[in-house]
Structure 1
Amino acid sequence: MPRIMPKDPNRRLRIYNASEAFSHHQPTGSITALQLSLFLLAPAILNFAKACADHPDIAHGLGANAASGMAVHDECKLKFMELKAKRTYRFIVFKIEEKQKQVIVEKIGEPGQSHEDFAASLPDSECRYAVFDYDFVTEENCQKSRIFFIAWSPDSARVRSKMIYASSKDRFKRELDGIQVELQATDPTEMDLDVFKSRAN
């Protein structure tokens, strides 16, 4: 029985009988409708994949969202913008809701709250993201501030939680336009006030 083979250099289907197949080193046998359909659709599929990869918005979405699979609640961006533009809050603590696959706002700190209040707001055995509006005075006696992003991943946290927070961090940070300093902490000493002071300058 003749076999349809996609081996023509001009990309046309070739039909080989048994003797031709032998001379052209091609296998014989019938071709299924599925095989033929896949072959005919292959160029279109490849072109579509290339177009997606070349498109900046699609490529960014595929890379970021597929990697973390984590959405960001609109309130996260809204509260951060209020902290940055209006200095409405001293800090914001963010939590990943694993079932909803979403980053949400868990706590906010009022402007009068301190670094100690911020440190106390982070759980001992669970990962969190946070931003902190840190005020300081320079050696020239100028009042300044820096917005810190803190990736809190204590040693006692679940391994799965650490992996989720680590893989979603960059995706989440991109939603918070205005981060100036990043800290990664596994215990309180890695984000104490002296660390903030040294990193702010």
Structure 2
Amino acid sequence: MSGDNKGDKIKFIIFKISDNKKEVVIDEVSHDPDYEVFRTRLDNTRDANDNPMPRYAVYDVEYDLGGGEGKRSKIIFISWVPSNTPTLWSMIYASTREHLKNALNIHTSIHADDKGDIEWKTVLAEASGGKAGK
């Protein structure tokens, strides 16, 4: 994902469904290459009553295949719906997930309902088809 400035690479974009429940909007764009920053941002999303809130995200996963095969980069779609999300929001996110994923033309995805589902090793394995990190 490229930013406005050359070399200014976007690392992740987090999307949310608007409060009026009518559209998907960008919640955050970041250039921070630290995966834990991204993971923490998803995990800390709360509503006014401190209920966990779902989000969609795209993350630019960069990895090395090793064995002289070189570096690769793949955009992965993450549907983040914590298990204790209010039911209405869970249903709304479930019903719009595929539409957004298809609109973004991203084929690799993870559906996550707890922080363990989005550990780096899981995301890396999904993005690389299990080829990286071996």
| Structure 1 unaligned regions, length at least 5 | 1-80
Pairwise CA distance, 1:151: 0.2
1:104 aligned partner, one-letter code: V
Give the CA RMSD over aligned residues: 1.9
Distance 2:92 2:121 in 1: 29
Matches within 5 A, 1:53-132: 82=2, 88-99=9-20, 101-110=22-31, 112-122=32-42, 123=45, 125-132=52-59
Cα deviation for residue 98 of structure 1 reads 3.8
Are 1:95 and 1:105, in contact at CA under 8 Å, matched by a contact in 2?
A: yes
- TM-score (norm: length of structure 1): 0.54
TM-score normalised over the length of structure 2: 0.79
Q: 1:199 to 1:89 in 2, by over 3 A?
A: same
Q: Do the aligned residues in 1 keep the contact of 2:74 with 2:127 (CA within 8 Å)?
A: yes
Q: Residues 80 and 111 of structure 2 are in contact (CA less than 8 Å); yes or no, is this contact kept in structure 1?
A: yes
- Which deviates more, 97-106 or 159-168? 97-106
2:90 matches 1:170: no
* CA–CA distance in structure 2, aligned partners of residues 132 and 146 of structure 1: 8
TM-fit CA distance, 1:82: 4.2
In structure 1, the residue matched to 2:127 is 200
- Structure showing greater relative contact order (alpha-carbon pairs closer than 8 Å, 6 or more residues apart): 2
Following TM superposition, by how much is the alpha carbon of 1:100 offset from its aligned partner in structure 2, in angstroms? Answer: 5.2
Could you say which residue in structure 2 is the equivalent of 1:191? 118
Query: SS at 1:200's partner residue?
Result: helix
User: Percent of aligned pairs with the same residue?
Assistant: 28
Moved over 3 A (4+): none
- Paired residue total: 117
CA contact 1:146–1:180 (8 Å) conserved in 2 = no
Return the alpha-carbon distance in structure 1 between the equivalents of residues 79 and 21 of structure 2. Answer: 20
For 1:176 and 1:82, how far apart are their aligned partners in 2? 15
3-state SS of 1:147 partner: strand
How far apart are 1:140 and its partner, in Å?
2.4
CA distance in structure 1 between the aligned counterparts of 2:98 and 2:107, rounded to whole angstroms? 14
Deviation at 1:96, TM superposition (A): 0.1
Task: Find the aligned partners of 2:113 and 2:18 in 1 and give their Cα distance.
Answer: 20
Structure with the higher fraction of residues in helix conformation: 1
